[in-house]
């Protein structure tokens, strides 16, 4: 994906941010790019905003750019949240959690008055096919694994380069889980969350308000469900 298309997408998306807003920030490289564009937007327009990051990565970047970090008690007052996605299907359902922040991202998306998703065109597909990240408390790892296998799924504990298990910022494990087919995203999201020990699921059936699609030709398309 051309850097200018991603940059253009970020510059267009910042127009959603107005003075005195509380802005939620997802995680990942696309959000990192957006935060830099947001810093310029805030400075050029002399805006006063506060941000609520979902990951330490984005929090550190936001702090370095001079943003005021809002306390998590203000999550219910979030005006708009910006986030990326691993896959977005034709019905605007998503798979998220490649960076491991799915639980906090879902909390912000459900709490915010408005959600804006930023992704390059390769993330837009007809049907969801990626492995679904499932955040699980370590105590329930074997139980959840067993239940997923009964559903015909293939779960795998996410690991770091040297083989150590990936631990989320909530102290949990991620089971990257492959399904033969996901027919009903909303239904499967609920079924997975009903397994004891599952903290959150990387299936996002709640639609965003706007989806920005950065294209290889440099153009940016804005989609509304």
Q: Measured between alpha carbons, how far is 7 from 9 in angstroms, rounded to an integer?
A: 5
Query: How far is residue 167's CA from residue 153's CA, in Å, rounded to a whole number?
Result: 22
Of residues 215, 212, 219, the one with CA closest to residue 88: 212
Q: Which of 48, 63, 72, 105 is catalytic?
A: 105
- Give the pairing type, strands 132-136 and 173-178: antiparallel
Is 105 assigned a catalytic role?
yes
Helix intervals (H) in the chain? 3-13, 29-44, 56-64, 102-111, 141-150, 185-193
Is residue 183 within 8 Å of residue 172, measured between CB atoms? no
Please identify every residue annotated as catalytic.
105
């Amino acid at each position: 994906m051309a850097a200018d298309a991603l940059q253009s997408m970020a510059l267009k998306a910042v127009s959603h941010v107005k003075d005195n807003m509380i802005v939620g920030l997802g995680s990942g490289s696309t959000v990192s790019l957006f935060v830099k564009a947001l810093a310029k937007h805030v400075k050029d327009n002399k805006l006063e905003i506060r941000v609520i990051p979902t990951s330490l990565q984005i929090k550190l970047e936001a702090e370095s750019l001079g943003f005021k970090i809002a306390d998590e008690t203000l999550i219910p007052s979030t005006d708009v949240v910006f986030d990326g996605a691993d896959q977005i299907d034709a019905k605007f359902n998503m798979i998220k959690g490649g960076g491991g922040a799915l639980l906090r991202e879902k909390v912000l998306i459900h709490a915010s008055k408005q959600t804006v998703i930023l992704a390059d065109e390769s993330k837009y597909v007809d049907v969801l096919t990626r492995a679904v990240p499932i955040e699980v408390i370590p105590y329930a790892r074997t139980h959840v694994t067993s239940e997923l296998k009964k559903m015909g799924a293939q779960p795998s504990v996410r690991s770091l380069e040297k083989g150590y298990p990936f631990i989320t910022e909530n102290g949990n494990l991620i089971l990257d889980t492959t399904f033969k087919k996901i027919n009903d995203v909303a239904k499967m999201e609920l079924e997975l969350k009903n397994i004891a020990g599952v903290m959150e699921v990387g299936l996002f059936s709640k639609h965003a308000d706007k989806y920005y699609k950065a294209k290889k030709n440099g153009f940016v398309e804005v989609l509304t469900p």
